[in-house]
Homo-oligomer: A and B are copies of this chain.
Amino acid sequence: MEVSNIYAVILAGGSGTRLWPLSRELHPKQLMKIEGDYTLFQSAFIRLVNSVDDKNILSVTNVKLESQVKTQLVEMQAKFCRKSNYRVITEPECRGTAPAIALSIKYIEKLQKDKNIKEDPIIIAVPSDNLISDDEQFAAAIKEAVKLAQDNYIVTFGVKPDRADTGLGYIKTKNNKKIKDVSSCALKVDTFIEKPDKETAQEFVDSDKYYWNSGMFVFKASVMMAELKKYEPDIFNIIKNAEISSQTPTIPYLDFKEMPDISIDYAVMENSKKLAMVPLECDWRDVGSWEAIYAISDKDENGNYVMGNVIDLDSKNSMVYSTSKLITTIGLNNVVVVETEDALLVCDRDRTQDVKKIVNHLKERHDETQMTHKTVYRPWGYYTVLNEGKGYLTKCIYVNPGAKLSVQLHHHRSEHWVVVEGKALVLKGEEYFELNNGDSIDLAVEEKHSLQNPYDEPLKILEVQKGDILDENDIVRFEDMYGRV
């Protein structure tokens, strides 16, 4: 499709709180592989390539996730598209979807202006955390929605509910009445209803008027801005007055500070009179909670879904998910167990929405297990903390072929490296050393160094840090191929 005024924005700034401990603030669910070969974010991208010129697919996220989102986009670019310069719009802080959409509109309008295009852009805004099985049906629904958006509708996509999910929003149609003539399947919208309680959700499922709100929207830029002006003027004013660069698209922190933390559903959808709903006929799944993951999983004859190294005796209707250690379960009923290297969740299946409360509690006590995994992703690869003790810390560091860590020094720690896989090129002071598998090297406090992998194979080293202060912030960078100096 070569209509250059159609844009897609993937909303990738969420923190996936309810999927803790697998999802973390700095490595949230949309950047994880839940099903298949691609992350949820990448799957959202692949789906859009059928409907939108790949040059016009953008993503909006917060500054902390920017480098991971870029890395995942670059992988997709290499596989599915002609070379394009994909743009990631960043928010200085996490807010809801309303500021994210407003910021995207502002940036797209700027792009159009820079290219001297007068047409009002049509924007497809999609979440980055859905599973959708049928790409053709999805593309057909998008096509229908774009037509309606051109007629100034704000188009939502509704999914027929098959269970009383209390973690989703619902759309009530006007008695399933069509919005136009028989050539469109779009329905009139009565109201948007946020996450209901169990009983209400069941009533919605039993009625035929209600749909799940899939969180995807298609609209004309000017129409959405007008609705924001009307219903959420703070967002409108901040965005209108802010300067945004087209090269590194973001908004200054000071402008963003006063931005309300609100979803587009609350800000616009619950108020707007311009809504239409296209029924989404394909298999759509939100993976917002462990209960939702359980719902979409392949279960055994006892209703159990099991992943990883698990031995079970007589459990039923339960989910057991191991990422590292052996989990044994006996006689459980309706329980979710999720294990990661540093944290464990054991939760009644009817209470998976409350995982959010646990995460909020962890935030309050500044517990790192809310923020990061033991494995932390970096532009050059990733590292895993193996062990910490008084005065030392050990890590396993994985460096991608062709990647290098910045030239750096530390004021408070010495480092000691052993190559356990591949080969390393190490800058120590002013001299380069080639280290083979099994070789080791010592780097003193204040000594300038850099770990590099100019070879074709992945490099894995074990690092022992020694010092009184062992902190990721104790790093002075001199050169960095990822612009982090």
Contacts and interface: CB of A to CB of B under 8 A. Distances in A.
A306 to B, nearest CB: 12
Nearest to A346: B329
Contacts of A314: 351
A350 interface: yes
Contacts of A320: 346
Q: What is the copy number of this chain in the assembly? A: 2
A328 interface: yes
B416 A313 contact: no
Nearest to A349: B331
A313 B387 contact: no
Given A386-B387, A396-B387, A460-B389, A335 B346 contact: yes
Interface string A379-399: 000000011011110101000
A445 B346 CA distance: 45
Contact of A420 (B332, B369, B464): B464
Contacts of A1: none
A354 B313 contact: yes
A386 B394 contact: yes
B328 A342 contact: no
Contact of A326 (B335, B344, B442): B344
A292 B465 CA distance: 43
Given A392-B420, A421-B389, A330 B344 contact: no
Nearest to A326: B343
A66 B230 CA distance: 80
Contacts of A352: 330
Interface string A314-357: 10000010100111111111010101011111111011101101
A342 B330 contact: no
A391 B438 CA distance: 10
A418 interface: yes
A296 interface: no
Contacts of A421: 389-392
Q: Is the interface of A mostly helix, strand, loop or mixed?
A: strand
A418 B416 contact: yes
Interface in A294-322: 311, 313-314, 320, 322
Nearest to A358: B328
B311 A331 contact: no
Nearest to A464: B418
Interface in A420-471: 420-421, 437-438, 440, 442, 460, 462, 464, 466
B344 A339 contact: yes
A362 interface: yes
Contacts of A21: 326, 328
A243 to B, nearest CB: 43
Contact of A369 (B326, B332, B389): B326
A414 interface: yes
Contacts of A369: 326
A180 interface: no
Contacts of A341: 325
A203 interface: no
A349 B330 CA distance: 9
Given A337-B346, A392-B462, A361 B311 contact: yes
A367 interface: yes
A346 B332 contact: yes
A352 B396 CA distance: 37
B416 A358 contact: no
A347 to B, nearest CB: 4
A50 B157 CA distance: 79
18 contacts: A313-B358, A322-B344, A325-B342, A326-B342, A326-B369, A329-B346, A330-B345, A330-B352, A330-B358, A331-B347, A331-B351, A332-B347, A346-B346, A387-B396, A389-B420, A392-B420, A394-B394, A414-B438
Given A328-B343, A331-B347, 5 more contacts: A325-B342, A328-B355, A335-B335, A337-B346, A344-B344
